[in-house]
Amino acid sequence: MIVCYAAGDGLGHLTRLRAVLHTLRREGPVTVVTGSRFAADPRVAGGWQVVESADPAAPRPDEVIVDAFPAGLRGEPARIPPGVPTTHLARLLRWDAYRPLLPAEPVRFDRTYVLEELDPAHRAYLDAVSGEVVPLALTDPPSDPVDVRGWLIVHSGPDAETLQLVAYARDMAAAERVRPPMTLVSPARPDGLPADVAHLDLYPAGVPGPDVERIVTAAGFNAVRQFAPWRDRHRMMPFPRSLDDQFTRAARARA
């Protein structure tokens, strides 16, 4: 059994776990410790046991995977039984903001997979607490392309951000003097979505179909990674996050 700690309430942690388990060819039972509301969606977490906190009486896992935050958000990885092989998935953090959450006694990892370039201080910390630190390029499980014409806008919310992305796309189209069909892929149709923007609730949405001319997203880890093969048509609007550095990620992708 593999136990995965996926702190945070968004969709990104769970999408990343899907890709990691697929890339590493991890098979067998998976328990995910998360508070994400998206874990109730069988398209996202189908086949996993989802719990909000680890059960100390549960059978000893074969491996523990800790996503993104090396000490969790509330010290969750400190409960890992001693001697269990432990893996960390490292992606870009606002390290100065996260560092105060680190415990005096750090969680130690047998292996850390670096999924994108890190802040140097973040990388130095992981070097100190990990048996080895190695890069990992992720591959998503196979999925059907999003088969729409025109411009594709992808975001899982909140609604205010989704509407900002739609406005960004419409402003781009106006500046370019084009009127492409636009489709929003999002878990729910936000109130105030313009009537001429179609809405689809699809998951996953990481592969654009052949008729997609432009892709508009935020600058979260998965969006930037998944749409990298279509960088020439991908436009991103970074949003402020307490711990994720979307602005640095977007600047790197644009460079």
- Examine the domain organization and report whether 65 and 32 are in the same domain: yes
Task: Identify the pLDDT of residue 167.
Answer: 98
Task: Identify the pLDDT of residue 27.
Answer: 84
Dump pLDDT digits (tens) for 92-111.
Answer: 999 999 999 998 889 999 99
Q: How far apart are the first and last CA of the chain?
A: 41
Q: Residue 117 belongs to a domain with what CATH number?
A: 3.40.50
Dump pLDDT digits (tens) for 46-70.
Answer: 999 999 888 777 788 999 999 999 9
Residue-number span of the structural domain to which 180 is assigned:
150-254
Dump pLDDT digits (tens) for 164-207.
Answer: 999 999 999 999 999 999 999 999 999 999 999 999 999 999 89
- Examine the domain organization and report whether 164 and 49 are in the same domain: no
- Examine the domain organization and report whether 108 and 177 are in the same domain: no
> Comparing 224 with 28, which gets the higher pLDDT?
224
The whole-angstrom distance between residue 21's C-alpha and the CA centroid of its chain comes to 14
Does 140 map to a domain? no
Task: Identify the pLDDT of residue 32.
Answer: 95
Q: Domain boundary residue among 135, 168, 193?
A: 135
Does 243 map to a domain? yes
Q: Domain boundary residue among 89, 105, 135?
A: 135
Does 35 map to a domain? yes
**What is the gyration radius of the CA atoms in the chain, in angstroms?**
19
Q: What is the 3-state secondary structure (H, E, C) of 205-238?
A: CCCECCCEEEEEECCCHHHHHHCHHHHHHEEECC
- Examine the domain organization and report whether 195 and 116 are in the same domain: no
Listed in order, strand segments (DSSP E) in the chain are: 2-5, 30-33, 49-51, 63-67, 86-90, 111-114, 133-135, 150-154, 182-185, 197-200, 212-217, 234-236
Task: Identify the pLDDT of residue 52.
Answer: 87
- Examine the domain organization and report whether 210 and 122 are in the same domain: no
Q: Which residues contact 217 (CB under 8 A, 6 or more apart)?
A: 153, 154, 155, 165, 223, 224, 227, 234, 235, 236, 237
- Examine the domain organization and report whether 127 and 9 are in the same domain: yes
- Examine the domain organization and report whether 92 and 171 are in the same domain: no
Task: Identify the pLDDT of residue 92.
Answer: 97
- Examine the domain organization and report whether 119 and 166 are in the same domain: no
Q: Which residues on adjacent β-strands are paired with residue 54?
A: none
- Examine the domain organization and report whether 40 and 71 are in the same domain: yes
* Number of other residues whose CB lies within 10 A of the CB of residue 28: 9
Strands 30-33, 49-51: parallel, antiparallel or unpaired by DSSP?
parallel
Does 249 map to a domain? yes
- Examine the domain organization and report whether 192 and 128 are in the same domain: no
The structural domain count of the chain equals 2
- Examine the domain organization and report whether 90 and 192 are in the same domain: no
- Examine the domain organization and report whether 131 and 6 are in the same domain: yes
Task: Identify the pLDDT of residue 74.
Answer: 79
